[in-house]
Amino acid sequence: MRAYFDHNATTPVDAAVLAAMLPYFSPEFGNASSIHSEGQRARMAIEDAREAVAALIGAQPRDIIFTSGGTEANNLAIFGVLSAARRAGNGAPHVITSSIEHPSVLQACEELQQRGVDVSYVGVSKDGLADPDDVRRAIRPTTALVSIMQANNEVGTIQPIAEIARIAAEAGAHFHTDAVQSAGKIKLNVNEMGVDLLSLSAHKIYGPKGVGALYVRAGTPLEHIQFGGHHERDRRPGTENVPGIVGLGKAAQLASQRQESDAARMRALRDRFEKGIMERVPYSRINGFPEGRVPNTTNMTFPYAEGESLCIALDLAGIACSTGAACSSGAVEPSHALTAMGLNAEEARSSLRFSFGRGTRDEEIDFALEVVPAAVERLRQLSPVYPGAAERA
C-alpha cells in the first residue's frame, strides 16, 4: 500500500478539473487579449473562473487578480501596497507580520528591510497563535501593511484574522492574509474577515500548479510590480495562463460545493490518526492549537527520533509525509514556525507533518497506525538518550 499524507505540500488534480482544462490546451487555444472569436472564448473562460474564485471567498469577481501562485500573490500584495504607500508620500512605511509566516512572506519582508523599510515581527504562543494585542502594540503612525497568514502551513493553527484586521483598519493600515492553506478547507468570506488582500493557490485545492489568485478589495492602493502589459486590470501583466486559470476556477467551484463534507471527513480521519499515534507512540505530542486548526493537518513531535530520517523511513515503508513546509525541504535548520512556538531545535527536528486530503481512505489511516509506531521505535533504538536504550544495548 502507498498512502499520501502530504496534501499541504500539494494535492492531486481532480479529474473534473483536468477535464475542464483540457480543451484550452488545444482546440480552445486563443489568447484572451485577442478581439477575435477564439480570443473572446478564452476571455469568457477566464471570467467564469474569476466568478468561481470570488464565490469561494465571498468576494466580487472584479477584485480577483490571477497570478502564478501563492508566492506571487503574496509578493504582489506586499510590494504592491508598499510601493503605493511610498508613492503617496506618507513617509517611510512600516510593515507588521508574524514570526511563523510562509517564506514567501518572510523573505519578501527581509527584502523590504534591505530596501530600508521597517518590519516588525510579532511572536506566537506555544500553540502557534498570534496575539492581536501584540499587533496593536506594534502599530505605528507609519504602518502601511499588516500581513498575517490565516492558517499556518506546518501546524494548521488558524489565526484570529477578523480581530487583527479590525485593529489594522482602526490604525489606517491595510491588511493582507495568506490563505493558501485555509482556502477550500474552512469557510472564507473576505467581508466577514475584514481583509483588504487575500492570497490563494490552485494546487492546494486539487487544481493545477503554477496558478493562484490575489483578492484586492476595491479602493486598496496596489501598484503592479511587473511591467509589460495591461492584463488583470493593470495589476499583473503577461499573457494569461488560460488552462491553469480554468483549472483554478473549477477547483474553486468544487471546493465551494464539497468544503463542508470534506472538512468533516478529514477532521474525523485526522482525529483518529492522532488518537492512535498518541496511544501507540510513547512521548509523542501534537503541535498547534488543539481545536482551532484546519481540519486536515496534524504536526507531531517524536522525541528521540530524527525527523528527516523518520520521513525517509516512512517513505520507504509506503507513507509520504513531510518534515515541514515543502519549500524548506533539504534545509538543515529546524522549522522556523516550530521554534517560534517554543520548541527547541532538537524537538523541531523530531517533528513531522501529516496532512490528509479528499482521497484519503480509512484503510490508509489503519496502515499508518501500524507503520508509524514501528518506524519510530526502530529509530529510537539507535538513540543513546532514548530511555532504556542503554539497558537494551
> Each residue's pLDDT tens digit in the chain (393 positions)?
999 999 999 999 999 999 999 999 999 999 888 899 998 999 999 999 999 999 999 999 999 999 999 999 999 999 999 999 988 876 789 999 999 999 999 999 999 999 999 999 999 999 999 999 999 999 999 999 999 999 999 999 999 999 999 999 999 999 999 999 999 999 999 999 999 999 999 999 999 999 999 999 999 999 988 888 888 887 888 889 999 999 999 999 999 999 999 999 999 999 999 999 999 999 999 999 988 999 999 999 999 999 999 999 999 999 999 996 444 445 558 999 999 999 999 999 999 999 999 999 999 999 999 999 999 999 999 888 888 565 544
Q: Within the chain, which residue ranges are assigned CATH 3.90.1150.10?
A: 3-9+259-392
The reported pTM is 0.95
Q: What pLDDT is stored for residue 390 in this prediction?
A: 52
Distances (CA, A) of 127 to 293, 325, 379: 10, 17, 27
Instruction: Reply yes or no on domain 15-254 having CATH 3.40.640.10.
Output: yes
> What kind of architecture, by CATH, is found in domain 3-9+259-392?
Alpha-Beta Complex (3.90)
Catalytically active residues, by annotation: 327
DSSP assignment of 236-285, as one string? S-S---HHHHHHHHHHHHHHHHHHHHHHHHHHHHHHHHHHHHHHHSTT-E
333-370 burial, b at 16+ Cβ within 10 Å, e below that, comes to ebbbbbbbbebeeebbbbbbbbbbbbebeeebbebbbe
DSSP state, residue 334? P
Is the Cβ–Cβ distance between 269 and 295 less than 8 Å? no
Cα diameter, the chain: 79
What pLDDT shows up at residue 359? 95
Cα–Cα distance between 379 and 375 in angstroms, integer? Answer: 6
The answer to whether 87 and 220 are in contact (CB under 8 A) is: no
Tally of CB atoms within 10 A around 279: 11
Check if the beta carbon of residue 158 is closer than 8 Å to that of residue 151. yes
Closest to 181 in 3D by CA, of 300, 290, 294:
294
The pLDDT value recorded for residue 112 is 95
DSSP 203: G
C-alpha 241/C-alpha 214 separation (Å) is: 15
pLDDT of residue 8: 97
Sequence ranges of the chain with CATH classification 3.40.640.10: 15-254
